[in-house]
Structures are given as C-alpha cells and as structure tokens.
Amino acid sequence: MTFSLMFWLANVLAHRRFDRLWALRRLLPFGVVLLSACQTMQPPAVDTVRFTPAQATQRNIAEPKVKYLVRADGYEYCARITGIPVTPTSKPMACAFWNTRRRECSIITPEETGYNYLGHELRHCFEGAFHD
C-alpha cells in the first residue's frame, strides 16, 4: 500500500504538464488518506482523561503478576479474543487477559504501541473490565 502510494506520488511529480492547480487536485486525495491514517492513531477517549484508581480492596486483582507480550500479530490476536474486528477506521490496539484465581495478567501489544495503550491494559490487570 505504502509502495503504491509512493509510486503514484512519483508519477504525479514527474508529470510533464506539472502545474500547481493540477498538482493540488491530484494531491488532495493523498492528503485525505494521510489525515485518516492520523485519525486512527488517536487514543481512545477513555485514555485521554485522568481517573481515580480503585483501592486495593476494590480491585479485581490487588497485586497481579504482569507479563508483557509484544507480538507481530498483536492486532489480529486482540481482534480474535475480543471479537472486535480490524477495520480501516478502528482496531483493537492492545489487549489484556487475566486469571483472577492465579492473580496473573498478560498484556499484548503489536510491535509498535503507545504509552496510553500500555497504561490502559495495565489498568485492566488491576481493575478487570472497567469499560464497555
């Protein structure tokens, strides 16, 4: 996809009848594509606000043993275990699963992630399902 866009852009720039108006018309869709890509990188609203952590006695697991797994198939795995599909406009960016009885929690992210996603999943490890 990225290669195709670069190839198309190179074609546009190398066009013989290159002029500003023509280039603007041609480049406009490319700009829109870039904008939507940035939009998908916006953190979820729940991650942009401050919250009051649950007290230890109110947590799902008061002191979890946390494992952090970075997976090449991170998006696909999180989609598979949550049932939330990967679409052009949204996808699960990270996920966590926990074993309450054994007080264990695993966080899964793809190979590139953000502090907000990791922090969000860490909260799951303590508080269980705190949203949805």
Partner 1 sequence: MTDCLHKANGGGMSRRTLLAQAVFSLCLVTPLGRVAAQSAGTVQVGFLNHYPPFSFKGADGTLKGFDLDVAQRLCAIMGVSLVLVPEGMAALSQKLRAGQIDWIGNQLLVTPENRREFDFVRPAYATNQLSGIQHEDDNRDFLSLDDLVGKKLGVLAQTGIEEQARGALGKSVQAYARIEDALKDLASKKLDMVLEESLIAEYYIERDDLPVRVTAPFAPPIPVGLAVRKGQRETQGKLADAVKTMLSDGSLKAISEKWFGFDVSRARVGHAMSS
Closest by CA to 103, choosing from 119, 120, 125, is 125
Residue 69 pairs in a beta bridge with 108
- Options 12, 26, 59, 60; binder of partner 1; rule CB under 8 A: 60
Q: Least Å distance between CB 14 and partner 1?
A: 35
Collapsing DSSP to helix, strand or coil, 49 comes out as coil
Tokens 């490319």 — which residue?
Answer: 30
Report CA 42 to chain centroid distance, whole Å: 8
d(CA 118, CA 68): 9
Residues 14-33 that bind partner 1 (CB under 8 A): none
- Options 6, 13, 28, 81; binder of partner 1; rule CB under 8 A: 81
Is 124 a binding residue for partner 1 by CB under 8 A? The answer is yes
The stretch near partner 1 (CB under 8 A) out of 8-16, 25-33, 48-56, 73-81 is 73-81
Is 121 a binding residue for partner 1 by CB under 8 A? The answer is yes
